[in-house]
């Protein structure tokens, strides 16, 4: 069968080669004498048509061969590989014995299974035998739905005396407000019950829960991810409620529970596939009417599975599962480990391509106190997938071209980046080639660089040819205009070293000008008053002779190509400050015919010394007077001034800042003729 499939492409190939051979055969020529002139005249047109037809036939031939090859590959692959269909776990969509796979089913696949599953719980060596039915459906690439139903759950109690609901405990104290009695028959003692089957008390059969859920695939190796990853949500729906029914069936809690599971799967080719599960089941406390019967712990489930030879009809499966109870719950005595751990080892056999049989031996690894630690998983599963759709005919690529610049300036040195957006509906690899009406194009991919630096002003076109190597050849083009380089006017700003000045002074004016084209610049200046001296970017504004007011200095810069810029700056001219004036600071008086500086004069001179120390640029003039009646008036007046100067020098005043003078008195002035005047002479003033 495989050989026949491999050879199924030969008839198609023979037909293609025969058609090509027939198309290439020359036609019978007419007599040369009758047709020579006509043939010579029609030869160029016929040659062009022949070349065009040959190109089209080549493209059609390549496309046909590719379709035949791809169909042959699909047929060969389907025939060479055994079609092993996925099988649901005991609960879920697809997986191993009990572990959910992180990979999805093929889209619109239906998977179903029936089976039995036996395991043990502690205390009391409780054996659970589930008869299960499951159905899963892959709705889309990521979403799938499933439903599981246990038409029968058999509960077997190996050691009834280890359970608080056994009749032997009827006379024992109640454990809180629960249905349990103390297993130790002491006040405050704990109950003893199976945490995920809290109503187990005797051998019984009954319908189990219904589980409905959905699975969402996040990652998949089929889509190029490193591993498969899915999230599964479960809703556990009871088929029995009320204390009487729950104690009678013993195989459920009577409450709707919720669960979520994360599943990760990594395939290692045809040899091995590993799967990891981690999930939680959130329980609700069992009730009878409005009465809460007990507080049930939540459940954390973890599982690790290994599948050997995942593409073979003979597969080996190993599983390890752990169940951890957590959260607040009614105190429990388990007579050994509380959280069960088990291993399952077995085979998955495919007697038919779509039918699998799971045979697994189950062993409780840590429940040492139970007398029956053995169990099993036996399932029969199948799945059906719709046939793959017929591949659509190959299409030529879809191509658009664009450039990052629609125009450039002559001599700018700018390079135009060419971008080609090409898509191929058949995902064929594409090759790119470029040509242009001017300049050079560098690149052989979807991005290229177009250099037009050496080209004169004008319009130019770049053309890209995209070839998918299967007969699809498409061209696209884009245009760029090379324009003469424009002149950019200069820019100019002005500044002054000070915004206000005294009439008669000069203000330094500076221009800051630049030209984008680096053209040489010339400067001109003017003002609405005064004079501007100097040339270039730095000049002086002379305010000599200007009245107080605000004046404007205007600068202009030109690049010699018609580009110019102006700037202005304002200067405030103020009137000169009035010249400083001398003023009399104080005076003191002497006794007749005496030049001694008494205490009153000393206090006056002390104030003068302080004034000199605070005004280091000022000086003083000391004028001594004498009365004509005192005799030797000039000498006495001079002596009075000198004594005052010496006193000031003793107070730290510099002699260079003190000037002494003598003055004669006036007849009849009496005391005024014996005074000492101290005159302050500011810097720039005279006296």
In this prediction, residues 428-445 reach a mean pLDDT of 93
- What is the model's pLDDT at position 683? 86
Which residues, other chains included, contact 403 with Cβ-Cβ below 8 Å and sequence gap of 6+? 416, 417, 418, 419, 450, 462, 478, 479, 480
pLDDT over 90, % of the chain: 57
CA 519 – CA 605 distance, rounded (Å)? 72
Cα distance between residue 304 and residue 281, in whole Å: 18
The pLDDT confidence band at residue 283, using thresholds 50, 70 and 90, is very high
**pLDDT tens column, 494-523:** 999 999 999 889 999 999 999 988 999 999
Residues of the chain with CATH 2.40.160.40: 80-163+192-384
Kindly indicate the confidence band of residue 117, based on its pLDDT and cuts at 50, 70 and 90: very high
CA-based radius of gyration for the chain? 56
When pLDDT is cut at 50, 70 and 90, the band that residue 64 belongs to is low
pLDDT at position 44 is 58
Is the pLDDT at 35 greater than 50? The verdict is no
Number of neighbours of residue 637 by Cβ within 10 angstroms = 28
What mean pLDDT do residues 200-221 have?
95
Please tell me the distance from the alpha carbon of residue 365 to that of residue 371, in angstroms, as a whole number.
Answer: 13
Residue range(s) of every CATH 3.30.1330.60 domain in the chain: 583-681
656 against 235, higher pLDDT: 235
Q: Of 33-37, 152-156, 247-251, 495-499, which gets the smallest average pLDDT?
A: 33-37
Quote the CA–CA distance of 149 and 132 in Å, as a whole number. 6
Which CATH architecture group holds 583-681?
2-Layer Sandwich (3.30)
Domain with residues 398-483, CATH architecture: Sandwich (2.60)
- Name the percent of the chain lying above pLDDT 70: 88
Q: How confident is the model at residue 130 (pLDDT cuts 50, 70, 90)?
A: very high
Tell whether domain 491-574 is in CATH 2.40.50.1070. Answer: no
Per-residue confidence (pLDDT) for residue 314, from 0 to 100: 95
More confident residue, 101 or 9: 101
Residue 60 tokens read as 């059609």
Q: Dig out the tokens for 260 from the structure.
A: 């979520």
Note the pLDDT of residue 627: 83
Q: Are 472 and 422 in contact (CB under 8 A)?
A: no
180 confidence band (pLDDT: 50, 70, 90): confident
Q: How many residues would you count in the chain?
A: 687
- What CATH architecture applies to the domain 80-163+192-384? Beta Barrel (2.40)
Higher pLDDT, 97 or 25: 97
CATH 2.60.40.1080 occupies which residues in the chain?
398-483
- The residue to which tokens 């009406």 are assigned: 437
Chain-centre distance of CA 336, in angstroms? 52
Q: Is the pLDDT of residue 65 over 60?
A: no
More confident residue, 653 or 25: 653
The 10s digit of each residue's pLDDT in 309-333 is 999 999 999 999 999 999 999 999 8
- The pLDDT, as a whole number, for residue 257 is 97
In whole numbers, what is the pLDDT of the chain averaged over residues?
86
pLDDT recorded at residue 665: 77
Within 8 A by CB and 6+ apart from 655, the residues are 645, 649
Residue 95 to residue 105: CA distance in whole angstroms: 10
Which DSSP helix (H) or strand (E) runs through 639? helix 633-650
Average pLDDT over residues 160-175: 83
- The CATH 2.60.40.10 portion of the chain extends over 491-574
Q: What is the pTM of this model?
A: 0.50
Above 80 in pLDDT, residue 610? Answer: yes
Count CB-CB contacts under 10 A for residue 543: 24
Q: Can you tell me the mean pLDDT for 205-225? A: 95
- Whether the Cβ atoms of residue 620 and residue 658 lie closer than 8 Å to each other: yes
Contact 118, 362 (CB under 8 A): yes
**Which positions ≥6 away from 683 have C-beta within 8 Å?**
580, 617, 618
Residue 22 in this model has a pLDDT that exceeds 70? no
Residue 412 confidence class, pLDDT cut points 50, 70, 90: confident
Higher pLDDT, 13 or 311: 311
Q: Does the pLDDT of residue 42 top 70, yes or no?
A: no
Q: 603 by DSSP, 3-state: which?
A: helix
Which residues make beta-bridge pairs with 145? 137, 214
């Amino acid at each position: 069968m495989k050989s026949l499939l491999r050879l199924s492409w030969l008839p198609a190939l023979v037909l293609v080669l025969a058609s090509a051979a027939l198309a290439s055969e020359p036609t019978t020529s007419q007599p040369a004498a009758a047709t020579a002139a006509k043939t010579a005249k029609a030869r160029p047109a016929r040659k062009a048509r022949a070349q065009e037809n040959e190109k089209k036939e080549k493209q059609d031939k390549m496309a046909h061969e590719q379709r035949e090859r791809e169909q042959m590959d699909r047929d060969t692959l389907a025939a060479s590989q055994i079609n092993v269909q996925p099988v649901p776990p005991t609960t879920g969509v697809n997986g191993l014995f009990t572990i959910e796979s992180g990979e999805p089913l093929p889209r619109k696949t239906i998977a179903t299974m029936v089976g039995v599953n036996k395991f043990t719980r502690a205390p009391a060596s409780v054996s659970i035998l589930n008869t299960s039915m499951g159905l899963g459906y892959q709705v889309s690439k990521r979403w799938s739905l499933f439903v599981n139903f246990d038409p029968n759950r058999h509960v077997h109690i190996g050691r009834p005396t280890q359970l608080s609901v056994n009749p032997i405990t009827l006379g024992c104290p109640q454990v809180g407000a629960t249905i349990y009695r103390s297993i130790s028959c002491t006040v405050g003692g704990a109950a003893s019950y199976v945490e995920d089957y809290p109503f187990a008390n005797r051998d019984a059969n009954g319908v189990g829960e219904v589980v409905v859920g959905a699975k969402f695939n996040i990652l998949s190796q089929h889509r190029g991810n490193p591993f498969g990853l899915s999230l599964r949500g479960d809703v556990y729906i009871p088929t029995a409620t009320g204390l009487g029914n729950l104690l009678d069936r013993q195989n459920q809690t009577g409450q709707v529970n919720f669960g979520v599971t994360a599943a990760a799967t990594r395939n290692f080719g045809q040899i091995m596939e590993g799967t990891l599960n981690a999930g939680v089941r959130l329980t609700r406390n069992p009730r009878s009417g409005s009465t809460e019967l007990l507080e049930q712990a939540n459940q954390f489930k973890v599982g690790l599975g290994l599948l050997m030879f995942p593409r073979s009809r003979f597969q080996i499966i190993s599983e390890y599962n752990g169940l951890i109870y957590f959260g607040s719950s009614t105190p429990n005595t388990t007579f050994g480990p509380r959280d069960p751990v088990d291993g399952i080892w077995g085979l998955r056999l495919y007697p038919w391509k779509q039918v699998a049989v799971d045979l697994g031996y189950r062993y409780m690894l840590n429940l040492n106190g139970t007398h029956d630690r053995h169990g099993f998983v036996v399932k029969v599963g199948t799945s059906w997938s719709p046939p793959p759709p017929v591949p659509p005919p190959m299409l030529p690529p879809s191509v658009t071209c664009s450039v990052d610049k629609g125009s450039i300036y002559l001599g700018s040195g700018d390079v135009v980046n060419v971008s080609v957006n090409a898509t191929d509906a058949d995902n064929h690899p594409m090759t790119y080639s470029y040509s242009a009406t001017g300049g050079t194009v560098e690149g052989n991919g979807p991005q290229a660089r177009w250099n037009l630096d050496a080209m004169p002003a004008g319009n130019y076109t770049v053309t890209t040819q995209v070839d998918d190597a299967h007969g699809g050849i498409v061209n696209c083009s884009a245009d760029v205009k090379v324009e003469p380089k424009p002149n950019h006017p200069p820019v100019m700003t002005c500044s002054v070293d000070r915004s206000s000045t005294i009439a008669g002074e000069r203000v330094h004016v500076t221009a800051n000008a630049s030209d984008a084209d680096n053209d040489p610049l010339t400067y001109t200046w003017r003002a609405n008053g005064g004079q501007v001296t100097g040339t270039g970017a730095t000049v002086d504004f002379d305010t000599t002779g200007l009245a107080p007011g605000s004046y404007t200095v205007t600068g202009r810069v030109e690049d010699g190509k018609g580009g110019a810029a102006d700037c202005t700056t304002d200067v405030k001219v103020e009137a000169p400050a009035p010249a400083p004036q001398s003023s009399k600071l104080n005076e003191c008086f002497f006794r007749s015919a005496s030049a001694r500086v008494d205490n009153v004069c000393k206090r006056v001179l002390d104030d003068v010394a302080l004034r000199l120390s605070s005004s280091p640029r000022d000086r003083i003039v000391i004028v001594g007077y004498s009365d004509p009646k005192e005799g030797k008036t000039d000498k006495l007046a001079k002596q009075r001034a000198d004594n005052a100067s010496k006193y000031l020098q003793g107070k730290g005043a510099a002699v260079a800042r003190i000037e002494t003078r003598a003055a004669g008195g006036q007849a009849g002035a009496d005391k005024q003729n014996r005074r000492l005047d101290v005159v302050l002479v500011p810097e720039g003033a005279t006296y």
